[in-house]
Amino acid sequence: MNELSSTFFNIEREGPVVRLEMNRPEKANSMSPDFWSDLPKLANELNRDSSVRCVVLSGNGKHFTSGMDLATFADINTMLQDEPGRAAYALRDLLLYLQGSLSSLENLRVPVIAAIHGACLGGGIDLIAACDLRVASADAFFGIEEIHIGMAADVGTLQRLPHLMPPAIVHELAYTGRRFSSEEAKGWGLLNSVHENQDATLKAAMDLAQEIAQKSPLAIAGIKQAITYSRDHSVSDALDHMATWNAGMLRPEDLTKAIAARTAKQEAIFADLLKPAS
């Protein structure tokens, strides 16, 4: 893997698993401007490293994230004093930039697991909704809190969350901004599992990531692609897409390895994907 750098994230690697740790604990990992610029750059680099097979996203300190840092919006008041049409265009452009930053996780070929503890508020919900899997500590708490400042969440929560949990619950939480617990979130299907504390949550996320990393990376990429595609398309279109994918990507090498290893009650060793062209 090329040397990755970030002013917002700590970056660690354990074999094929990369951990991105939000590292602004003195500000409860609030999502400052460098979060939004660093995340898609890191995602692009990870996507180009064929040896990376899973990513774990976590937070340093007492909280996962308190959400959007208002510094991100520092120029909006000035912007909105300009000619209304041009101001609206500039604001839309900013929102598309923020949306694209989080969508970079969804567009990664490898699964992304969010390991959540403490607060996960506002933009934090947008963030975890763009991940593939979510595990949390028992003391974690969540909130779609944009309504408290007179706005609708606008970088992914309202678009992704209704596909992850009952839409009526999303309505309630977005309308009221009330905070909810890990127990509630798991009951609604938002969380895959709940663990005793922060350390146990991170261990569970890393163990899950290492388990995924042992599978065929080509099959994992296909699964992620198919699930994301099916969310936004009809069943008929998604089935056709899946048939085309497997017709092109399904090859005997990984199948033979997987079946032989299963018969021998061993772990199969799968080759990495090819490195993308420069």
Buried b (16+ CB within 10 A) or exposed e, 229-250: ebeeeeeeebeeebeebeeeee
What's the angle, vertex CA 32, arms to CA 28 and CA 36, rounded to 5? 125
Tokens for 43, please give them. Answer: 């995602």
Distance between CA atoms of 268 and 214, rounded to whole angstroms? 7
For residue 31, which of 65, 74, 75, 73 has the smallest C-alpha distance?
Answer: 65
Can you give the pTM of this predicted structure? Answer: 0.94
Domains of the chain and CATH, by start: 9-213 (3.90.226.10), 217-264 (1.10.12.10)
Helix axis angle, 235-249 to 217-231, nearest 10°: 160
> Counting beta carbons within 10 angstroms of the beta carbon of residue 202, is it exposed (0 to 12), middle (13 to 18) or buried (19 or more)?
buried
Would you give per-residue pLDDT tens digits along the chain (278 residues)?
557 889 999 999 999 999 999 999 999 999 999 999 999 999 999 999 999 999 999 999 999 999 999 877 777 777 778 788 988 898 899 899 999 999 999 999 999 999 999 999 999 999 999 999 999 999 999 999 999 989 999 999 999 999 999 999 999 999 999 999 999 999 999 999 999 999 999 999 999 999 999 999 999 999 999 999 999 999 999 999 999 999 888 877 888 888 888 888 888 899 998 888 76
